[in-house]
Amino acid sequence: IVLGSAPVGQLWEQAVKARGAVGIVSTADAPYIRPDDPATFTAADQWDVLQWGSVPYDPERKAFGFKAGLRAAARMRARLREGSVRLKVTVRSAFYDGPARSLIAEIPGTRRPDQRIVMVAHVQEPGANDDGSGCGTLAALAIAIAAAVREGALPPPGRTLMFMWADEVAGSRHWLASHADAARRVQYMFALDMTGEDTSKTGGTFLIEKQPDPSAVWPRPSDPHTAWGASEVKAASLKGSLLNDLHLAICRRRARDVQWIVRTNPYEGGSDHTAFGDAGIPSLLNWHFTDRYYHTNLDRPDKTSAAEMVNVGVAVATSAWFLASASDRDALAVVDLVAQAAADRLGLERRQGASAEIMTAWTKWYREALASVKALPVIGPTADVDARVGAAIRALSAAATR
Ligand SMILES: [Zn+2]
């Protein structure tokens, strides 16, 4: 049995595969969970934290892999210094076939029930924040909207609000593939992942991971990536929509009211927004990062914050209901909002020395974002909205060539 600090998969390859060990114990954690050097620890729990990992399945060797915190590993090393150690290891594990179940709830739209605003939280991860908090936030916001509609405090949505709890990404892809007709008419999508963090304990902030925009293709000083890291996004795949700026504005309104910290990050991918985004649906992720308990044994209820869950729930519910119910007057306001965001972005990019290629990409993206507002009113496109969108696009093009 090999005890080591290499990542569990690497250790398994080296010890089991190459050298015939019967199993391994790894202490590796991502650097944002725990620095390598105990002298730089800032919290006592860094001695006991351990992050999930996985080893390949080898039906012949049936070798095992464990993760250990540094305190447990230090005890094992102390015993090893005293001489040979006998270990008894019990592993109970099984593969089984069975259905992967998803739970879907809907509040049907009154005017365009075929057009959906979809919200998804994933059920397969066991952490309190990841993604117990996303599942709970989604349940609470669905119940709150349904109750408000039933009591007459809120008009029913014009489009359908759909809430889904499913196996991350796979459940979303399954729904998209098995409901192709409905999927084609999904208007917007929100993923909820790690939405309940007590950031005084976990670090990080609330983040909107934006639908892919030019900041996902060209690194921008104003739009840093998280410790999760960038993924490759092709410029040709970008298609602007109103979603990023509308949801950011609604989150900022909430933030102003309750002193909430709201930031954004460029698209990185990896949760259900990736599945819906790949299907061409404007999709974004509500999450928190960095979290120094991410995918660890210490992602427990004491790291969550009810107030933070309320903030995310209120913001997502507001954006979703608004997108499902917007009038032509609402759409006119959104044209102005997106036009202002476009002007702010072009100004920011000029100040941070963007190349002509990047300026062109943002102009194109915002032209498409403005055009997307035409489809926002539930009653369908109107002459007023079309005219305001046309004027805003002309003004944007004029500003871009100045
Ligand atoms: Zn997650």
Ligand 1 center to 304 CA (angstroms):
14
Query: Which tens digits make up the pLDDT trace of 193-211?
Result: 999 999 999 999 999 999 9
Interval between CA 316 and ligand 1 midpoint (Å) = 17
CB burial of 330-358 (b: ≥16 within 10 Å; e: otherwise) equals: bbbebbebbbebbeebbeebeeeebeeeb
Q: How many CB atoms within 10 Å of residue 402?
A: 5
Given this model, what pLDDT does residue 296 score? Answer: 97
Residue 58: per-residue pLDDT: 87
Q: What's the topology of domain 105-325?
A: Aminopeptidase (3.40.630)
Residues 278 and 275: their CA atoms lie apart, in Å, by 5
Q: Which of 170, 185, 197 is nearest to 286 (CA)?
A: 197
pLDDT of residue 287: 98
Q: How much distance in Å is there from the Cα of 123 to the middle of ligand 1?
A: 9
Q: Pairing state of beta strands 186-192 and 23-26?
A: unpaired
Residue 118 CA, ligand 1 centroid: distance in Å: 17
Cβ-in-10-Å burial (0-12, 13-18, 19+) of 51 comes to buried
Paired strand residues for 2: 24
How close is the Cα of 336 to the center of ligand 1, in Å? 35
Q: Kind of pairing, strands 103-107 and 23-26?
A: unpaired
Q: Give the tokens for residue 106.
A: 């809907």
Question: What is the spatial distance between Cα 356 and Cα 371, in angstroms, rounded to a whole number?
Answer: 22
Question: Under a CB-based contact definition with an 8 Å cutoff, are residues 175 and 168 in contact?
Answer: no
Ligand 1 centroid distance, CA of 125 (Å)? 6
Between the CA of 302 and the centroid of ligand 1 the distance, in Å, is 18
Q: Which residues of the chain have pLDDT under 70?
A: 402
With CA atoms as reference, report the closest residue to 33 among 12, 50, 55. Answer: 50
Alpha helices (H) in 179-295, listed in sequence order: 180-184, 199-202, 214-217, 243-258, 272-278
170 CA to centre of ligand 1 in angstroms: 13
CA distance 243 to 13: 44
Q: Report the separation in Å between the CA atom of 222 and the middle of ligand 1, taken as the mean of its atom positions.
A: 26
pLDDT of residue 57: 87
Query: What is residue 400's predicted lDDT score, i.e. its pLDDT?
Result: 81
pLDDT of 36 = 86
Angle in degrees, 0-180, between the axes of helices 356-372 and 328-351, rounded to the nearest 10: 170
| pLDDT score, position 242 | 98
Using alpha carbons, list the distances in angstroms from residue 35 to 29, 129, 190, 237, 341: 8, 22, 33, 37, 39
Angle value at C-alpha 59, between 55 and 61, nearest 5 degrees: 75
CATH 3.40.630.10 maps onto the chain at 105-325
Centroid of ligand 1 to alpha carbon of 131 (angstroms): 5
Q: What is the pLDDT of residue 140?
A: 98
Distance 226 CA to ligand 1 centre (A): 15
